[in-house]
Chain A
Amino acid sequence: MSDSKKNKVMKKNTNPWFEAWRRLLQSKIGIAGLGIIIFLILVAVLAPVLAPYNPFEQNILARYKAPSSEHLLGTDEMGRDILSRIIYGSRISLQVGLVSVSLALVFGVGFGLLAGYYGGKIDMVIMRFMDIMLAFPSILLAIGIVAILGPQLKNAMLAIGIINVPRFARIVRSSVLSIKESEYISAAKALGAGDLRIVFKHLLPNAMAPLIVQTTLSIATAILEAAALSFLGLGAQPPSPEWGAMLSDARSSLQRAPWVATFPGLAIIFGVLGFNLLGDGLRDALDPKMKNV
């Protein structure tokens, strides 16, 4: 074995992220989740190519047509092609997931770092406020926020972002607390490192693993919550092909045309499943105790 090759192997083993990635690819669950998500992203990006019809084009004289070669998943209550709507709906669901979770991530991490690092009164105020938010069932809080802002998809995204902030804040705060007093932080302080440098160079990277897992799982719940809000008429407004809204409109035809409700429902399950599986896979892969197993 030559030296250079040896070096490479060494390097590979020492980068924890690469190690985690390798372990993720070894877990069947993680692969499945990743596969589903990549598929969803492709569908969303290629929607105009993939969709056989315009998702908004109505033909009210061809409502509730059963699945056929013409309309693979049938038509809905307005005579629109369900397959095309589900394809375009994936864009909305992914968008909701990403936007609302990014929002929660930014504010949650910010509050968590502040509370954990400075402690004292700041910690007290921030975390009590987070506790208050956690005291409400999250969907109820989201309904309340949307009711105030008005029923629109962007408000629903905002609401879902807000209700997810406390979870991120808690995760970051607890991991900051657990290492704040460790010796290498003291050493960094002794060397004259500023607060920002300590926080972003030393504290935040240590919270990365649980954050990534929480982010992935949160996207799954965000998609579900957005669908729930739209189902209640508080999210996406007609004629938007949001999956939850499609499900809601299909209620009146459950008996006559079950496919109208079935396919958007399956799409929601599929999307949520993808992110949940990936989350589980990541949790295993990033667990330090699993190292070198």
Chain B
Amino acid sequence: MRKLILTTFIILVVMSVFVTGVMAQEQGGTLVFGRGGDTVGLDPIQVTDGESFKVTQQIYDTLVDYTPGTTEVEPALATDWEVSEDGLTWTFNLREGVKFHDGNPFNAEAVKWNFDRWRLEDHPYHIGGEFTYYGYMFQGFPGIIQEVNVVDEYTVEFVLSEKQAPFLNNLAMVPFGIASPEAVKEYGENYFKHPVGTGAYTLEEWRQGDRVILKANENYWRERAYLDEIVFRSIPDNSARFMELQSGTIDMMDGVSPEDVEAVKSSDGLKLSLRPSMNVGYFAMNFKFEPFDDVRVRRAFNHAIDKQAIIDAFYAGLAEPAKNPMPPSIWGYNDNIEPYEYDPEKAKELLAEAGYEDGFEFDLWYLPVPRPYIPQGKFIGQAIQSYLSEIGVTANLVTYDWSTYLDKTEHQEAPTYMLGWTGDNGDPDNFLYVLLDKTNSNNAYESEELHEVLVEAQKTMDQDRRVELYMEAQEIIHKDAPWVPLVHSTPPIALKSNVENYVPNPTGTEKLHRVWLEE
């Protein structure tokens, strides 16, 4: 008898362990994500920063999405689509039975309402911001999307005024998450604090400057998220954030200092995840300021900086030297470009040729905040300063707070500056046109030749021809040397070892609904 009781007991214990074990692998728990800054707003079309997208990505879905870890497009709110012969009419079939968090149905009307709100400046709810990303991607307001038509309840049609090759890739971008029209109408200007989408998580609470708390959406159209709750905490200082990870008060963090990468690798409770590289960190020279209007000076600078040494020192080796403004992970990358090799003697010769053998003095703006492409702006700025002093030019280091820095560089006020870019959609257009076309460049680089190539590439649907055009564009840029392209980094993310199934996207943000916590 006793034996039987004991056996039963043992079986029960084993079973309960097994059952809870399985449960813990799948469902429940709270994930605390530590990051460098707070969200700016939760209306994705109104923001441009990664810290906002990180959160809106969980709350909203887009018509199409990127397959996790890549920039391949896959169905999301749209199940399938077709494009007309002339490339101007796109028809999307929408997923049926999807509901917004507020219970309203998702349908073609909602899609049309969202696009009309973004693109029409006289729309009553074209308020609350500048709809920046819409203007970027679709060339202004109303831009190239001429009409959005409701064909039937679950079919919507887009009519474009001109062909746009990366149209589908653009639609998959986080800013184009579909919001509940009723919620936007209800909250108006304050909608950015009351986001309502169709995503895997709903907003529970946003304590500005501190944390955003999300709760799982029980009626998600995909499988319900594994995690019950996600907390995004802002901890601006990299090392403070890392200490929190080590002490266990946060479960994962991005913006790991290169100094700490070794510590993550060697500690038992932590692991490292690498975001696929799709960015560029660069040092730009402004054509408006003498002597940077002289291509020989710009080439001299390109020869003066030892990128590999900078990578070994400040990226824990997690980067590769850049020779083009776009990373090799993007199609159309021109690998035939011969990089300006590190050669201070040649740099001096070029400077002498340009008439600056005695050097000159200028302001070098360094990044005030850690970014994935340039994790330690101040240190890398000092390294560049020291390399330039070797060829006889004097750089004075200058910086501003982050928003002022961005604003001033955008207005072409910086003689030379460090900056970078993380790709949004995996298309070369998203690097070359956005950063270096004469309509967009921050350093007064205004090449007609480049502009023509880039615009033609936008309107070409034939992939082979587009590759050719972008190859050519990179040659023009290399020849003009408007930047010193520094690195393409592979940003590290540190996680507790029980955080499972986290797949970082090259675009810089990702959905977390497939992440779960092991006991």
Contact = CB atoms under 8 A, between A and B. Distances in A.
B72 interface: no
Interface string B361-386: 00000101000000010110111011
A255 to B, nearest CB: 7
Chain B, interface SS category: helix
Given A238-B397, A256-B260, A251 B239 contact: yes
A259 to B, nearest CB: 14
A56 B262 CA distance: 27
A135 B397 CA distance: 35
A239 B364 CA distance: 12
B381 A238 contact: yes
Interface string B295-313: 0000000000000011011
A206 interface: no
B379 A61 contact: no
Question: Could you say which of A60, A79, A249, A257 has the most chain B C-beta atoms within 10 Å of its C-beta?
Answer: A60
Nearest to B239: A252
B12 interface: no
Contact of A239 (B237, B262, B397): B397
Nearest to B375: A252
B239 A255 contact: yes
B238 A252 contact: yes
Given A60-B310, A61-B312, A61-B313, A255 B260 contact: yes
Q: How large is the interface on A (under 10, 10 to 19, 20 to 34, 35 or more residues)?
A: 20 to 34
A282 to B, nearest CB: 40
Nearest to A248: B378
Nearest to A257: B259
A237 B397 contact: yes
Given A78-B382, A78-B383, A251-B237, A60 B314 contact: yes
Contacts of B237: 251
A236 B314 CA distance: 23
A239 to B, nearest CB: 5
Nearest to A62: B313
Given A253-B259, A254-B239, A238 B313 contact: no
Contact of A61 (B309, B396, B398): B309
B71 interface: no
Contacts of B310: 60
A50 to B, nearest CB: 23
B13 interface: no
A77 interface: yes
A252 B313 contact: no
Contacts of B238: 252
A239 B385 contact: yes
Given A58-B383, A237-B397, A255 B312 contact: no
Interface string A54-69: 0010101101100000
B39 interface: no
Contacts of B386: 56, 58, 78, 239
Interface residues of B, number: 29
Interface in B237-253: 237-239, 242-243
B382 A252 contact: no
Interface in A54-106: 56, 58, 60-61, 63-64, 77-79
Interface in B275-329: 309-310, 312-314
Nearest to A251: B239
B354 interface: no
Interface string A243-287: 000000101111111000000000000000000000000000000
A56 B395 CA distance: 14
B383 A60 contact: yes
B378 A249 contact: yes
B263 interface: yes
Contacts of A60: 309-310, 312-314, 383
B351 to A, nearest CB: 21
Nearest to B396: A237
B383 A252 contact: no
B134 to A, nearest CB: 35
Contacts of A239: 382, 385-386, 397
29 contacts: A56-B386, A60-B310, A61-B309, A61-B312, A63-B313, A77-B376, A78-B383, A78-B386, A79-B313, A233-B368, A233-B399, A237-B397, A238-B366, A238-B382, A238-B397, A239-B385, A239-B386, A249-B378, A249-B379, A252-B239, A252-B376, A253-B239, A254-B239, A255-B242, A255-B259, A255-B260, A256-B259, A256-B263, A257-B259
Interface of B: 237-239, 242-243, 257, 259-260, 262-263, 309-310, 312-314, 366, 368, 376, 378-379, 381-383, 385-386, 396-399
* Closest 3 pairs (CB-CB, A-B): A60-B313, A58-B386, A256-B259
Given A60-B383, A238-B382, 6 more contacts: A78-B379, A237-B398, A239-B397, A254-B239, A255-B243, A256-B259
